[in-house]
Amino acid sequence: MIKVNATIDEVAKITRQGNSAVIYFKNGETITIENYFDYAVNDNRIVFEHEGQLYWAEFTDENGVMLDTIQYHPLTGDLAESGTVAACVLP
């Protein structure tokens, strides 16, 4: 799980460049997460905070194909409660 210190309202889009995930923000900044796609599609999650709740960004389907729009899902269960974060990146 990778937590980005930004809200979901700040994200313009997320794309794939090779094995990297690139997050584009509305203010023009970008974050590149190297080797994001080196793992199975369901092994990695990019997480944002919004109004005190953590949300994971779904931007690929189960086969790794990019979706047209980002879908944000509340982070619940064991991951949300454990607070386990593999990395934290700042825009």
Domain-wise residue ranges, the chain: 2-74
For residue 51, give the amino acid letter.
E
Helix (H) or strand (E) holding 50: strand 46-50
What's the mean pLDDT when you consider all of the chain?
83
**pLDDT-derived band at 90, boundaries 50, 70, 90:** low
Q: What is the pLDDT of residue 1?
A: 84
Q: What is the pLDDT of residue 16?
A: 93
As a dihedral over the C-alpha atoms of residue 51, residue 9, residue 2, residue 20, rounded to 10 degrees, the angle is 170
Q: Provide the residue count of the chain.
A: 91
**41's tokens:** 């599609």
Three-state DSSP class for 10? helix
Q: Is the pLDDT of residue 58 over 80?
A: yes
For residue 24, give the amino acid letter.
Y
**pLDDT-derived band at 65, boundaries 50, 70, 90:** confident
As a dihedral over the C-alpha atoms of residue 49, residue 57, residue 6, residue 55, rounded to 10 degrees, the angle is 0
Q: In whole angstroms, give the CA distance from residue 82 to residue 32.
A: 26
Q: Is the pLDDT of residue 14 over 70?
A: yes
